[in-house]
């Protein structure tokens, strides 16, 4: 069984996730820890649960999701895993940090490229991968079918969707990703987003103004 813990880090209030199973192997997803206290919070949890980090993954590479990449790579000896299409987004991190006036220890390059044709594996567990661009060109979502949840990055939020005014964003592509990839999952599936609280697929189909026709992008 896959377990999940959420942290909320950095000035952007970004959600960082640690997922693990009964083998205690864990995956760190979108580490946004940008201060020593946030780094300590992440490490204290991992150590307290006796977890063994085996993979570092970015759902996408906007600055708020990569602020802790360098720390995690150095601390746990991991390589960065993400979609190849995120290379230019990752490379813009230094410029983005300067623009927002936040400190940034530059992320290592992506070492392993993954796509929707791959599967995320750790311990005795596996998660399907969906290609969900539109907020970012190479955004990926990770689905735990046995547990009924999806890690969706900044694609779908409770009562909202990811912004599309950043480089590589496209409103039509984003809505297509949501409608064809996420909304085809069972209504009961939990959605763990890159910001804000969790929601469900069914709730968003009914109440999300961008999905029920109330608003348009």
pLDDT tens track for 18-69: 999 999 999 999 999 999 999 999 999 999 999 999 999 999 999 999 999 9
SS3 217: coil
| Tokens at 74, concatenated | 């150095």
Model's pTM, two decimal places? 0.97
Under the banding of pLDDT at 50, 70 and 90, the label for residue 216 is: confident
User: Residue ranges per domain, the chain?
Assistant: 3-207
Angle, in degrees to the nearest 10, between helices 36-48 and 69-76: 40
Give the per-residue pLDDT at 74: 98
| Predicted local distance difference test score (pLDDT) of residue 1 | 96
Task: Give percent of the chain with pLDDT exceeding 70.
Answer: 100
Nearest Cα neighbor of 85 from 133, 152, 150 is 133
CATH of domain 3-207: 3.60.15.10
User: For residue 173, what pLDDT is reported?
Assistant: 98
Q: What DSSP string describes 106-148?
A: PPPPEEEE--TTSEEEETTEEEEEEE--SSSTT-EEEEETTTT
Asked if 23 contacts 80 with a C-beta cutoff of 8 angstroms, the reply is: no
| Residue 109 in this model has a pLDDT that exceeds 80 | yes
Residues 6+ apart with CB under 8 A from 52: 24, 25, 26
Tell me: pLDDT of 215 over 90.
Answer: no
pLDDT band with cut points at 50, 70 and 90 for residue 214: confident
State the Cα–Cα distance between residues 17 and 192, nearest whole angstrom: 9
**DSSP-assigned states of every residue in 21-43:** -TT-EEEEES----SHHHHHHHH
pLDDT in tens, 110-160: 999 999 999 999 999 999 999 999 999 999 999 999 999 999 999 999 999
- Give the separation between CA 153 and CA 142, rounded to whole angstroms: 9
- Using the predicted structure, report yes or no on whether residue 83 has a pLDDT greater than 90: yes
Assess whether pLDDT exceeds 90 at residue 92: yes
């Amino acid at each position: 069984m896959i377990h999940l813990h959420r942290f909320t880090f950095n000035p952007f209030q970004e959600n960082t996730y640690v997922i693990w199973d009964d083998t205690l192997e864990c995956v760190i997803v979108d580490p946004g820890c940008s201060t020593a206290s946030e780094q300590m919070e992440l490490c204290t949890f991992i150590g307290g649960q006796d977890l063994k980090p085996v993979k570092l993954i970015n759902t996408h590479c906007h600055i708020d999701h990569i602020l802790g990449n360098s720390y995690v790579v150095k601390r746990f000896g991991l390589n960065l895993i993400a979609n190849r299409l995120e290379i230019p987004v990752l490379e813009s991190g230094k410029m983005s940090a300067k623009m927002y006036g936040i400190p940034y220890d530059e992320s290592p390059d992506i070492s392993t490229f993954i796509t929707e044709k791959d599967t995320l594996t750790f311990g005795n567990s596996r998660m399907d991968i969906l290609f969900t661009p539109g907020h970012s060109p190479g955004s990926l979502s990770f689905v735990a079918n046995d547990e009924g949840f999806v890690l969706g990055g900044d694609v779908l939020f409770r009562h909202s969707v990811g912004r599309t005014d950043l480089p590589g964003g496209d409103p039509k592509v984003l809505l297509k990703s949501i409608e064809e990839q996420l909304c085809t999952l069972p209504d009961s599936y939990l959605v763990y987003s890159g910001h804000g609280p969790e929601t469900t697929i069914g709730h968003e189909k009914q109440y999300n103004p961008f999905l029920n026709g109330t608003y348009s992008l």
